[in-house]
Amino acid sequence: MAWLFKTEPNECSIDDIAAAKTGVIWEGVRNYQARNFLRDQVQNGDLVLIHHSSCKQIGLAGLAKVTATAIADPSQFQPESPYYDAKASAERWPWYAVKVEFVEKFKKIITLTDLRNQTALADMQLLRKGNRLSVMPLTKQEMDLVLFLTKA
């Protein structure tokens, strides 16, 4: 399966993932639907498009691969973290994370306009109005077309 993970590059960019030789823990997801994807469906070896948001150049910045799944999100236990959850404990924790490793940085950002110009991507979840999920599944066709666009 393939995924799209949204991130603000000042928190975790494709460059940060590339710099982390052993990968990064994808943490801080605080939406139950996105959490359920991380907990129940994301698998080792899955490819992930990294989407930079809330920044100057919004769009798909690169590719990562999942290397560990359904782990406790460490930020929920850290009182200094903006993702701290006072109800979380070592025995009962509500928030999950995965670990990702760098695969590739795209030569250029693939913008939302670039994606919308592809009629085959009309149903892509990222392009739907009001979509704010930080973790979303991709079809094989969507992933293949996006990867084709990165080579164009």
Q: What's the Cα-to-Cα distance from 119 to each of 10, 116, 122, 123, rounded to whole Å?
A: 32, 7, 5, 9
**Structure confidence at residue 35 as a pLDDT band (50, 70, 90):** very high
Stretch 10-16: mean pLDDT: 96
The residue ranges of every structural domain in the chain are 2-151
Mean pLDDT for all residues in the chain: 96
* Amino acid of residue 24: V
Over residues 86-118, the pLDDT tens digits come to 999 999 999 999 999 999 999 999 999 999 999
What's the pLDDT score for residue 130? 83
pTM: 0.95
What's the pLDDT score for residue 132? 82
Q: CA end-to-end span of the chain, whole Å?
A: 23
Stretch 134-139: mean pLDDT: 97
Over residues 44-78, the pLDDT tens digits come to 999 999 999 999 999 999 999 999 999 999 999 99
CATH superfamily of 2-151: ph1033 like domains (3.10.590.10)
Query: 43, 90 in Cβ contact below 8 A?
Result: no
**Is residue 152 predicted with pLDDT exceeding 80?**
no
